[in-house]
Chain A
Amino acid sequence: MMTAEAITNAGVLDLAEMSVRDANATLQAATEGAFTLRNPGGRHALACGLMHPVSVTVEGHAGYYCGGMNKEAEITIRGNAGTGVAENIMSGIVRVTGDASQSAGATGHGGLVVIEGNASARCGISMKGVDIVVGGNVGHMSAFMAQAGNLVVLGDAGEDLGDSIYEARLFVRGSVKRLGTDCIEKEMRPEHVAIVAGLLDRAGLFADPSEFRRYGSARRLYNFKIDNVGSY
């Protein structure tokens, strides 16, 4: 059995041989270095609550909440990720090379989340400043009640994109099945093209930024009015 203490900074953590608790304790304690999490086997809560600029590669599929509440660390999941990947991320980067399940990047306050494949429903729900770039499509109710930050989707968006959105910016290259309540298309001005270009660059994904359309809040629901009763 490997113990947390036995691992040095540049380590391979094999989940076939150690518990998630020991692996996370090692990653949380490290202040620098590169780590590989082997045999993740869809285990939950991997590499969550990291606080320092370490880099972590998860070699395979991760379960729920991988990279949750991340600060400063750079986490790459070489596979698919379960529900709530990088939920409430504060800073740093979480990248999924495959697809992500629902609520990817939920409530994130900062940092960058990159999903190279598709993201399922509620991607970026209640996002609070995080930037999310999705190489494929996003599912329904993505960016629901999104407060701040940018969601860039290279593919299509499902129903009710940006429902009850606040100040977040949504950029979609493909089609939007249906916009949610109070979410409208807005003019794509040069500064928005620049935002998308910058995010694509940071995400390492390739697309022509001028092909994106921008969506955001009509701000009609910011103060309660009875005449909007059908929208609440």
Chain B
Amino acid sequence: MTEQPRIPRTVPVKSATFDDYTLSEIRRAAATGLYDIRGGGAKRHLPHFDDLLFLGASMSRYPLEGYREKCGTEVVIGARNAKNPITLRTPITIAGMSFGSLSAQAKEALGRGANAAGTSTTTGDGGMTPEERESSNTLVYQLLPSRYGMNPDHLRMADAIEVVVGQGAKPGGGGMLLGQKITERVAEMRTLPQGIDQRSACRHPDWTGPDDLEIKIQELREITGWRVPIYIKVGASRPYYDVALAVKAGADAVVLDGMQGGTAATQHVFIEHVGIPTLAAIRPAVQALKDLDMHRKVQLIVSGGIRNGADVAKALALGADAVSIGTAALVALGDNDPALEAEYQKLGTTAGAYDDWHEGNDPAGITTQDPRLAARLDPVAAGRRLANYLNVMTLELQTIARACGKSHVLNLEPEDLVALTVESAAMAGVPLAGTNWIPGQG
């Protein structure tokens, strides 16, 4: 009997469409009947600042001497209407993150780090805590649709006011804070029963469109004696029109948050499928400011996926006046630290992927209201780490600006940039590297 020749078989192929994550999500939804809620921003690959490069000085451009020639980093925010605009030593600010989503220790650490670096912090959905005011030299107070804890005394204690229209992680969406994090103190600040799954509204209760918002801003200015700047924060979706309308409504500054921007808790489907990437949002926003002759008069603060000094430099070169960081600041405090891997494993995840911030079990003591976990975060040491990180980013930013021959980081310009991909060239409106081709512009 002759042996049958072995028939070669192809290896099993998994579907690119129905990949492992997708299959697991279908099974999870089928088993629980709940949509997936998580923290963080969009995790998928997106055109981003990594797709841009600086050209640096050359025969036709003159660089600045690294450690000798000054490269300014100071920015002033809000001089359009406010008697007391804000001066920041570095154009890297700390984004609004609520007490409630973050522990009191984490909020204090953010304040300490920001103070040391000479920048501002921001409250969030849930009001201003005394500790937060105490620990932040420059504090921006958010006015959100929920108005939790909104209080005219706090409004007057703030150094700036930020009217939140939307967030990059969820343009058009409201907030949520699940029962585990609604402790007695959080519940009291929000006037809600303890332990409920709290939803916050997606629309403001007392104004509907930009014409109303203009009057709302007038009221806020009347209450605060026209002293402090008023920002408007929008999630990136239609940046040209949103920025133009924000200017018309009287904003002193516009905060523009792209889809990579973090959130404390939002539906996964919302985070990954609504809004546009930060990179795609900046140029239309700057164009709107220029068309209104308001570029550099109304400041543009960009956020969503800012990680290092190069990202900051690229945002500024595209026309932003400052940036804001959320996720990166939390990482600097100690979020997702591999040293806690054993604990992340117990939670069914791994360091670097932990995003169940809404569940309040954060082993790093940051996105939690559990006093036992929160006590693990030393606000002084964590604040020090944040200050170091902010200083490193500022040095990186200066390094790039000097290489491009700029004596101030705000002198960076689109002309200093090229793109690595056709997509990023089109979005950022800069030429594809090695060509003079800007897709969509001839």
Given that A65-B206, A88-B147, A128-B147 are contacting pairs, would A25 and B225 also be in contact in the complex, using a CB cutoff of 8 Å? yes
User: What are the residues of chain A within 8 A of B222 when measuring CB–CB?
Assistant: 20-21, 24, 45, 48-49
Choose from B212, B223, B226 the contact partner of A68 (Cβ within 8 Å): B223
Q: Is A87 an interface residue (CB 8 A)?
A: yes
Given that A107-B147, A107-B206 are contacting pairs, would A166 and B152 also be in contact in the complex, using a CB cutoff of 8 Å? no
The answer to whether B193 touches A167 (Cβ under 8 A) is: yes
The answer to whether A103 touches B205 (Cβ under 8 A) is: yes
Q: Is A216 an interface residue (CB 8 A)?
A: no
In chain B, what residue has the closest Cβ to A107?
A: B147
Given that A68-B219, A68-B223, A224-B197 are contacting pairs, would A126 and B207 also be in contact in the complex, using a CB cutoff of 8 Å? no
Instruction: Give the distance to chain A from B178, nearest Cβ to Cβ, in Å.
Output: 8
The answer to whether A164 touches B205 (Cβ under 8 A) is: no
The answer to whether A166 touches B192 (Cβ under 8 A) is: yes
The answer to whether A128 touches B191 (Cβ under 8 A) is: yes
Q: Is B101 an interface residue (CB 8 A)?
A: no
The answer to whether A106 touches B206 (Cβ under 8 A) is: yes
Given that A147-B191, A147-B192 are contacting pairs, would A65 and B197 also be in contact in the complex, using a CB cutoff of 8 Å? no
User: What are the residues of chain B within 8 A of A128 when measuring CB–CB?
Assistant: 147, 191
Q: Is B196 an interface residue (CB 8 A)?
A: yes
Interface residues of A in 184-209 (CB under 8 A from B): none
The answer to whether B218 touches A44 (Cβ under 8 A) is: yes
Interface residues of B in 256-303 (CB under 8 A from A): none
Q: Is A132 an interface residue (CB 8 A)?
A: no
User: What are the residues of chain A within 8 A of B46 when measuring CB–CB?
Assistant: none
Q: Is B414 an interface residue (CB 8 A)?
A: no
Given that A71-B152, A148-B191 are contacting pairs, would A222 and B34 also be in contact in the complex, using a CB cutoff of 8 Å? no
Q: Is B160 an interface residue (CB 8 A)?
A: no
User: What are the residues of chain B within 8 A of A222 when measuring CB–CB?
Assistant: 193, 196-197
Residue of B190, B196, B205 with most chain A CB atoms under a 10 A cut-off: B205
Q: Is A170 an interface residue (CB 8 A)?
A: no
User: What are the residues of chain A within 8 A of B34 when measuring CB–CB?
Assistant: 224, 226
The B interface, classified by DSSP as helix, strand, loop or mixed, is loop
* Residue interface bits B220-233, CB-to-A below 8 A is 1, else 0: 00111110000000
Choose from A21, A48, A49, A106 the contact partner of B205 (Cβ within 8 Å): A106
User: What are the residues of chain B within 8 A of A180 when measuring CB–CB?
Assistant: none
Q: Is A125 an interface residue (CB 8 A)?
A: yes
In chain B, what residue has the closest Cβ to A23?
A: B222
Instruction: Give the distance to chain A from B206, nearest Cβ to Cβ, in Å.
Output: 4
* Residue interface bits A43-68, CB-to-B below 8 A is 1, else 0: 01100110100000000000111001
How many residues of chain A have a CB within 8 Å of chain B?
42
Q: Is B27 an interface residue (CB 8 A)?
A: no
The A interface, classified by DSSP as helix, strand, loop or mixed, is loop
User: What are the residues of chain A within 8 A of B190 when measuring CB–CB?
Assistant: 147
In chain A, what residue has the closest Cβ to B29?
A: A226
State A193–B225 Cα separation when bound (angstroms). Answer: 43
User: What are the residues of chain A within 8 A of B196 when measuring CB–CB?
Assistant: 166, 222-223
User: What are the residues of chain A within 8 A of B152 when measuring CB–CB?
Assistant: 49, 51, 69, 71, 88, 90
Q: Is A109 an interface residue (CB 8 A)?
A: yes
The answer to whether B215 touches A44 (Cβ under 8 A) is: yes
In chain B, what residue has the closest Cβ to A223?
A: B197
User: What are the residues of chain A within 8 A of B328 when measuring CB–CB?
Assistant: none
Q: Is A135 an interface residue (CB 8 A)?
A: no
Instruction: Give the distance to chain B from A154, nearest Cβ to Cβ, in Å.
Output: 23
State A128–B206 Cα separation when bound (angstroms). Answer: 14
The answer to whether B223 touches A69 (Cβ under 8 A) is: yes
In chain B, what residue has the closest Cβ to A84?
A: B206
In chain A, what residue has the closest Cβ to B37?
A: A224
The answer to whether B219 touches A45 (Cβ under 8 A) is: yes
The answer to whether A90 touches B219 (Cβ under 8 A) is: no
In chain B, what residue has the closest Cβ to A125?
A: B205
State A107–B155 Cα separation when bound (angstroms). Answer: 15
The answer to whether B197 touches A45 (Cβ under 8 A) is: no
Choose from B151, B205, B219 the contact partner of A126 (Cβ within 8 Å): B205
Instruction: Give the distance to chain A from B379, nearest Cβ to Cβ, in Å.
Output: 29
The answer to whether B223 touches A126 (Cβ under 8 A) is: no
Given that A223-B197, A226-B33 are contacting pairs, would A64 and B223 also be in contact in the complex, using a CB cutoff of 8 Å? no
Choose from A25, A65, A125, A148 the contact partner of B216 (Cβ within 8 Å): A65
Instruction: Give the distance to chain A from B91, nearest Cβ to Cβ, in Å.
Output: 31
Q: Is B201 an interface residue (CB 8 A)?
A: yes
Q: Is B237 an interface residue (CB 8 A)?
A: no
* Residue interface bits A105-125, CB-to-B below 8 A is 1, else 0: 011010000000000001001
Given that A126-B201, A223-B196 are contacting pairs, would A21 and B226 also be in contact in the complex, using a CB cutoff of 8 Å? yes
The answer to whether A65 touches B205 (Cβ under 8 A) is: no
Instruction: Give the distance to chain B from A26, nearest Cβ to Cβ, in Å.
Output: 12
Q: Is A83 an interface residue (CB 8 A)?
A: yes
Q: Is A133 an interface residue (CB 8 A)?
A: no
Q: Is B63 an interface residue (CB 8 A)?
A: no
Complex A-B, nearest 9 residue pairs according to Cβ-Cβ distance, in ascending order: A49-B223, A226-B33, A84-B206, A69-B152, A45-B219, A107-B147, A222-B196, A65-B219, A103-B206
Q: List 18 A-B contacts (CB under 8 A).
A: A45-B219, A45-B222, A49-B222, A64-B219, A65-B206, A103-B205, A103-B206, A106-B147, A106-B205, A106-B206, A107-B205, A109-B151, A125-B206, A126-B147, A126-B205, A128-B191, A147-B192, A226-B32
Q: A24-B222, A88-B147, A167-B192 are in contact. List 4 more A-B contacts (CB 8 A).
A: A21-B222, A122-B205, A129-B191, A166-B196
